[in-house]
Structure 1
Amino acid sequence: MQRELEPELMEDANQVNAYAEADFEKPHSEFIQRLKAFVNEPKFNGKALDLGCGPGDISRRFAKAFPLCTIDAIDGSKAMIDYAVNASSPEFKSRLNFIHGKLPDTELSVENYDIILSNSVLHHLPDPQILWQVVKKYSKPGTRIVIMDLLRPGSVSMARTLVEMYAITEPKILQQDFYNSLLAAFTLKEINAQIAQAGVSLAVEKISDRHVFVSGIMP
């Protein structure tokens, strides 16, 4: 099945609210658990960058899991950033900095980060090299890279089946977004090719019937 692009940004208020209020407990929790296992430092106190933070759930989970860290979280959707800021509790205000900006155009004030994370952003990009080149730009030797995203199923019927399996109780607008995202996602083969083209060495692992986990340490 060929990839079908979807809109790069979520900016409609109804769409943002539906996404922010959806039940992502299982995949988001697993993402953080895998990230913690990969970092393997309970007292990790570096500077983190969350690429495409959306409404900020992953960013807040990261801040809670690593209470000594500071986080810059960036997203191209102003509506998403506004939601993320409003949803953050005061305890995170000093460590969690939400930034409205579109990749790769926005220049961040920090030259490099100790960890770069991203969840469900790759499939939104018309050019996947945007993500990998930004990762390279803001990395340094030893930077940990942790990325999770959707995988494109082999057929439209399989995409519809996945929607029925995992989003049947969600609002129709979110079901349509999930379906569009599955069609816009990449395959394992494509992601491996992207990474090779970018000239970075990262491990690519299929971790569910719809998710890929990419991780590695910059040399």
Structure 2
Amino acid sequence: MSEESQPQTAQDVYTHGHHESVVNAHASRTAQNSAAYVIPYLTEGAKVLDVGCGPGTITCDFAELVGSGHVTGLDRAPEVVEHAQSLASQRGVKNATFETGNIYDLDFEAETFDVVHAHQVLQHLSDPVEALREMRRVAKPGGIVAVREADFHGMSWYPDVPELDEWMDLYQRLARRNSAEPDAGRRLVSWAQAAGFTDVAPSSSNWLYATGQQRRWQARVWGERVLHSAFAEQALAYNLAEQRDLERISAGWHRWGSTDDGWFLIPNGEVIARA
């Protein structure tokens, strides 16, 4: 989902859900801080598909960059599409439209888009290779499919907080219970090749939370998500954690966020795959 990772079939379960803490976090993402590797390809007049667009912040940025071109934002969740439509109206973006859809069965003719983009989407899918094949189908010959995914096991933090180790272990088990791949970033080249791409350019970039404001924001996001989002609901439903476990992990996040020297690094894998 740009960023906003939306599952696309009945069997795909979105680990995060659409709690306010999730949507607000996704709304902090911009083309510059989350899709800089794509910007050189967003040329004047380009036609772009943003799969898993979430609240639309990256999509609207793309629309401003392509000028006379057009960007279509696609998400499975109707309530998130409404959020994106509202954002585009607020920003006065006229060349972006939003609709619901299925990444495995895109409702577009073959060879339609110059750029097909997905941000933090493949990690939540049960069949990321099939999703890439479908994205490739709707890309024009010579166009690009661009994807960016976090790598959870590549994340690092300081100081050591046992509850964050517990959080990581729980997230890994929960995501895999949902047939998803939380360490998606390191697998992008392999997935793109399996989808039939032969021209694949890899790169990587980070999100870093190391200032006081950034630490407090990240701690608040995950402190709330651990207790109130689909993450919490699924952890309890699958008997992977008890409520007291979630409360302890949430408190650990806030304790990390209150440090004066804390550091949290999220690495992201990226690929530009030529159709």
What residue number does 1:133 align with? 133
The equivalent residue for 1:52 is: 52
The percentage of counterpart residues that share the same residue type is 19
**Superposed displacement of residue 119, structure 1:** 0.9
Q: CA deviation at 1:115?
A: 1.1
Answer whether contact 2:27 2:56 (CA < 8 A) is retained.
no
Aligned match of 1:18 = 21
Matches within 5 A, 1:1-150: 7-8=13-14, 12=18, 15=19, 17-22=20-25, 25=28, 28-37=31-40, 39=41, 41=43, 44-89=44-89, 91-93=92-94, 95-108=95-108, 111-150=111-150
The answer to whether 1:217 aligns with 2:271 is no
Q: Distance in 2 between matches of 1:179 and 1:80?
A: 26
SS at match of 2:152: coil
In 1, Cα distance between the equivalents of 2:16 and 2:117?
19
In structure 2, distance between residues paired with 1:107 and 1:10: 25
Instruction: State the partner residue of 2:191.
Output: 194
RMSD over aligned Cα atoms:
3.5
Q: Which amino acid aligns with 1:87?
A: L
Q: What TM-score results when the alignment is normalised by the length of structure 1? A: 0.72
In 1, Cα distance between equivalents of 2:66 and 2:80:
23
SS of 2:191's equivalent? helix
How many corresponding residue pairs? 193
Q: Indicate the SS of the match to 2:153.
A: coil
Contact 1:122 1:185 in 2 (8 A): no
Q: Secondary structure at the match of 2:73?
A: strand
Higher strand share: 2
Q: For the Cα contact (< 8 Å) 2:45–2:69, is it kept in 1?
A: yes
Equivalent residue letter for 2:203: E
Which residues of structure 2 form unaligned runs of 5+?
1-10, 165-169, 207-265
CA distance, structure 1, for counterparts of residue 70 and residue 172 of structure 2: 31
Deviation of the 1:25 alpha carbon: 4.5
2:185 equivalent to 1:185: no
- What is the one-letter code of the residue matched to 1:210? P
- Report how far residue 74 of structure 1 moved: 0.7
Does the CA contact (< 8 Å) of 2:38 and 2:146 recur in 1?
yes
Displacement, 1:102?
Answer: 1.8
Structure 2 contact 71–96 (Cα < 8 Å) conserved: yes
Question: Is the alpha carbon distance of 1:185 and 1:142 closer, same or farther for their aligned partners in structure 2, counting shifts above 3 Å?
Answer: same
Which structure has the greater CA radius of gyration? 2
- The 8 Å contact of residues 188 and 204 in structure 1, kept in 2 or not, is answered as no
Shift of 1:217: 2.7
- Specify the code of the residue in structure 2 equivalent to 1:203: A
Shift of 1:133: 1.0
Q: CA deviation at 1:67?
A: 1.9
Instruction: State the alpha-carbon separation in 2 of the partners of residues 180 and 11 from structure 1.
Output: 13
Write the distance in 1 (CA, Å) between the matches of 2:60 and 2:16.
Answer: 19
User: Hey, what's the Cα distance between the residues in 1 that align with 2:171 and 2:30?
Assistant: 16
**Structure 1 residue 109, shift from structure 2 partner:** 5.4
The answer as to whether partners of 1:118 and 1:148 remain within 8 angstroms in 2 is yes
Rounded Cα–Cα distance in structure 2 between residues aligned with 1:193 and 1:105: 22
Q: Structure 1 pair 65/27, CA: closer, same or farther in 2 (3 Å)?
A: closer
